């Protein structure tokens, strides 16, 4: 007796929803993008089962520092608004800025792109942003994975993850252990919301509905909200080479209130001066639309400060000058003091 399965036409992987040819086409599109990111240390990159990287010989006692992250629900706006060209920069920035906080130079990056059905043009646009982020931060895009998984994601949607590895001399690892009362807190301006708090951003968009502002901070609303996370790598590495910076904090999820304490010794707090940096139209609109307090703003968003630098008071002006010379907008936003009875970060 012949079963119906035996008499049916053969099924291919493409019939099941996975297009190997599309995946191959994407790899060919990616190769020249990745090539622009090559740097010392790359032995073998995209195309092999594993990427090979040799730690540069200028390091005497190299310690590897790794970080991983995604882009979060900012991707929902990318899908809705068909804006895919900068979310790859977000992906890189969220990992390399974290690696940087330890004093490390990002060396290489790998990405993971997952979707239900592979659209080569969209994927190439996203990965083009990843390559651009790597290029701007001096790290090599040496590998990644594209996963086409029918039924796992709605049509037109995808997810991203990224993985960065950097190196720092063992004697120069930043731990915050040398931070003391009287040190100055410098704040480096963010480019916008970066990649945290977008679940609330999307709620604000829904609440404002037909009364959305046309522009914020001189940009169309969509461009202001989708501005990619600022890459602080090259300016901060230049400052680290020239000045004895004591601690760095990347202001991501949890905002100023939860990220700065991660690099402070027990018993110390950061006292920040309200108004020492401007609130942009973007963050003012978010706060007014959400109807939330300053406290909630400062633990949900970066609120205008994307990276914090802690330095000795005697080094503050020179450090700020170096950072400005490399393109950063720098504010002197506070000082370190004994924690007392208050919180680890106080803004007043």
Q: Two tokens at 347?
A: 């803004």
To which residue do tokens 């708090």 refer? 197
Displacement of CA 207 from its chain's centroid (Å): 27
Kindly report the average pLDDT of the chain as a whole number: 93
Cβ atoms 11, 150 nearer than 8 A: no
pLDDT at 48 over 70: yes
Question: CA–CA separation, 44 vs 155, rounded Å?
Answer: 34
Residue among 261, 65, 66 nearest 176 (CA)? 261
Judged against a pLDDT cut of 60, whether residue 1 lies above it is answered with no
pLDDT, one tens digit per residue, over 154-180 is: 999 999 999 999 999 999 999 999 999
What is the rounded distance in angstroms from the CA atom of residue 88 to the CA atom of residue 297?
A: 26
Q: In degrees to the nearest 10, what's the CA dihedral of 61, 247, 332, 223?
A: 80
Q: Is residue 72 a contact partner of residue 196, using CB atoms and an 8 Å limit? A: yes
Least confident residue range of 4-8, 145-149, 170-174, 296-300: 4-8
Q: What is the mean pLDDT of residues 194-209?
A: 95
Beta bridge partners of 161: 70, 112
Question: Given pLDDT bands bounded at 50, 70 and 90, which one contains residue 128?
Answer: very high
Question: Looking up tokens 């600022």, which residue turns up?
Answer: 230
Statement: residue 137 has pLDDT above 60? yes
Quote the Cα angle for 287-206-225, to 5°. Answer: 60
- Rounded-to-10 torsion of CA 130, 233, 332, 286: 10
In this predicted structure, which of 5-14, 75-84, 229-238 has the lowest mean pLDDT? Answer: 5-14
DSSP 155-205: TT-EEEEEEEEEEEEGGG---STT--TT-EEEEEEPSSSTTS-HHHHHHHH
Return the pLDDT at 162: 96
Taking 90 as the threshold, does the pLDDT of residue 47 lie above it? Answer: no
User: Tokens 């906080």 label which residue?
Assistant: 101
Is residue 341 pLDDT above 80, yes or no? no
Residues 224-253, mean pLDDT to the nearest whole number:
98
217 or 345, greater pLDDT: 217
Q: Provide the whole-model pTM.
A: 0.93
């Amino acid at each position: 007796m012949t079963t119906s399965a035996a008499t049916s036409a053969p099924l291919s992987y493409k019939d099941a929803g996975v297009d190997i040819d599309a995946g191959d086409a994407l790899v060919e599109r990616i190769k020249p993008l990745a090539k622009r990111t090559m740097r010392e240390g790359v032995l073998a990159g995209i195309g092999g089962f594993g990427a090979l990287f040799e730690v540069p010989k200028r390091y005497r006692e190299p310690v590897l520092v790794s970080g991983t992250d995604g882009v979060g629900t900012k991707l929902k706006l990318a899908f809705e608004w068909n804006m895919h060209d900068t979310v790859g920069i977000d992906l890189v920035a969220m990992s390399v800025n974290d690696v940087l906080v330890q004093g490390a130079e990002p060396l290489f990056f790998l990405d993971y792109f997952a979707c239900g059905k592979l659209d080569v043009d969209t994927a190439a646009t996203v990965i083009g942003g990843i390559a651009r982020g790597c290029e701007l931060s001096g790290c090599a895009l040496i590998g990644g994975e594209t996963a086409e998984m029918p039924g796992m994601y709605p049509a037109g949607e995808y997810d991203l993850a990224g993985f960065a590895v950097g190196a720092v001399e063992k004697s120069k690892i930043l731990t915050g252990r040398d931070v003391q009362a009287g040190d100055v807190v410098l704040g480096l301006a963010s480019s916008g919301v970066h990649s945290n708090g977008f679940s609330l951003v999307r709620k604000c968009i829904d609440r404002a509905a037909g009364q959305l502002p046309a522009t914020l901070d001189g940009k169309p609303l969509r461009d202001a909200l989708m501005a990619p996370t600022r890459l602080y790598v090259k300016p901060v590495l230049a400052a680290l080479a020239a000045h004895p910076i004591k601690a760095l904090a990347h202001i991501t999820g949890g905002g100023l209130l939860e990220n700065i304490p991660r690099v402070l010794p027990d018993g110390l707090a950061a006292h920040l001066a309200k108004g020492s940096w401007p609130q942009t139209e973007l963050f003012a609109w978010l706060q007014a639309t959400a109807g939330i307090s300053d406290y909630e703003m400062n633990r949900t968003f970066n609120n205008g400060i994307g990276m914090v630098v802690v330095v000795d008071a005697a080094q503050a002006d020179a450090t700020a000058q170096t950072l400005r010379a490399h393109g950063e907008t720098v504010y002197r936003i506070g000082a370190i003091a004994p924690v007392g009875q208050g919180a680890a970060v106080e803004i007043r």
